[in-house]
């Protein structure tokens, strides 16, 4: 009986060790101005397209910092894209040149030239870095 219980416990410990959590702290949020969308991506081909991420959260912009947690992730690399939808229209607004007019940011505070950063520039590994900070700009 003890051997069966021990084996069961070891299996459950092994399974939980494979699942990672990623906590995303978003700073420089304009308080009481809409919603902060946090998108999690596991594929370079999808990053940073809105609504193509593997998971996402919408958080009320109730203070200058909001926190999203993605639990049970498989081992690997992930990139995060964030924007504050100040007018609650469900999209990142841009000007006539295509530049964002609402606050946005990426994991690793990555920046692209003439567009968003690459998946590799924004990629994080939750096993090595379980909490990241993204500063909206």
Residue-wise pLDDT tens digits, 101-110: 999 999 999 9
Mean of pLDDT over the chain: 89
Asked if 50 and 39 count as a contact pair (C-beta separation under 8 A), the reply is yes
User: In this model, does residue 5 exceed pLDDT 80?
Assistant: no
Asked if 76 and 42 count as a contact pair (C-beta separation under 8 A), the reply is yes
Pairing mode, strands 131-135 and 20-27: parallel
Helix, strand, coil distribution of the chain in percent, nearest 5: 20, 35, 45
User: In this model, does residue 9 exceed pLDDT 60?
Assistant: no
Residue with the bigger pLDDT between 52 and 137: it is 137
Q: What is the pTM of this model?
A: 0.86
Residue-wise pLDDT tens digits, 20-65: 999 999 999 999 999 999 999 999 999 998 678 899 999 999 999 9
76 three-state secondary structure: coil
């Amino acid at each position: 009986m003890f051997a069966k219980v021990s084996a069961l416990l070891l299996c459950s410990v092994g399974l939980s060790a494979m699942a990672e959590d990623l906590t995303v702290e978003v700073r420089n949020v304009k308080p009481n101005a809409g919603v902060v969308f946090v998108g999690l991506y596991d594929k370079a081909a999808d990053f940073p397209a809105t609504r193509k991420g593997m998971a996402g959260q919408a958080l009320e912009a109730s203070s200058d910092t909001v926190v999203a947690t993605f639990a049970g992730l498989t081992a690997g690399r992930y990139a995060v894209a964030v924007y504050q939808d100040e007018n609650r229209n469900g999209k990142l607004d841009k000007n006539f040149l295509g530049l964002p007019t609402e606050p946005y940011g990426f994991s690793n505070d990555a920046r692209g030239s003439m567009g968003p950063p690459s998946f590799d520039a924004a990629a994080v590994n939750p096993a090595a870095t379980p909490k990241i900070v993204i500063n909206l700009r």
